[in-house]
Amino acid sequence: MRAAALAALAVVGCQLDNNGGSATAVSPNQLAAKLQALSQRMHARYLGAHRLIAAVGRSDLDSARLEAHAMSVLEEPDVLPEWRPYFVAVSQAALDIELAPDVGVAGRLVATLGARCLACHTAARAKPKLAPLPHGPTRMLEHQQAAIAMWDGLVISSDEHWLAGADILATAPLAMVARAATPEWPDDVDDVARLRMYAQRAKHVTAPAERTELFGTIMTTCSHCHTALRDR
Q: Which is nearer to ligand HEC, 128 or 208 (CB)?
A: 128
Distance (Å, rounded) from C-alpha 214 to C-alpha 198? 7
Q: Which is nearer to ligand HEC, 26 or 199 (CB)?
A: 199
Q: Which is nearer to ligand HEC, 133 or 229 (CB)?
A: 229
114-131 in b/e burial notation, b at 16+ Cβ within 10 A? bbbbbbbbeeeebebeee
* Distance of closest approach, residue 15 Cβ to ligand HEC, in angstroms: 19
Pattern 22-61, ligand HEC, x by CB under 6 A: -----------------x--xx-xx--x----x--xx---
Q: Which helix (H) or strand (E) holds 24?
A: strand 23-25
CA angle at residue 97 from 96 to 100, to 5 degrees? 85
Pattern 77-96, ligand HEC, x by CB under 6 A: ------x--xx--x------
Classified as helix, coil or strand, 139 is: coil
Burial of 214 (0-12, 13-18, 19+ CB in 10 A): buried
Distance (Å, rounded) from C-alpha 111 to C-alpha 89? 13
CB atoms within 10 A of CB 183: 7
Pattern 153-192, ligand HEC, x by CB under 6 A: --x------------------x--xx--xx-----x--xx
Q: Which residues bind ligand HEC (CB under 6 A)?
A: 2, 5-6, 9, 39, 42-43, 45-46, 49, 54, 57-58, 83, 86-87, 90, 117, 120-121, 124, 126-128, 141, 143-144, 146-147, 155, 174, 177-178, 181-182, 188, 191-192, 195, 218, 221-222, 225-226, 229
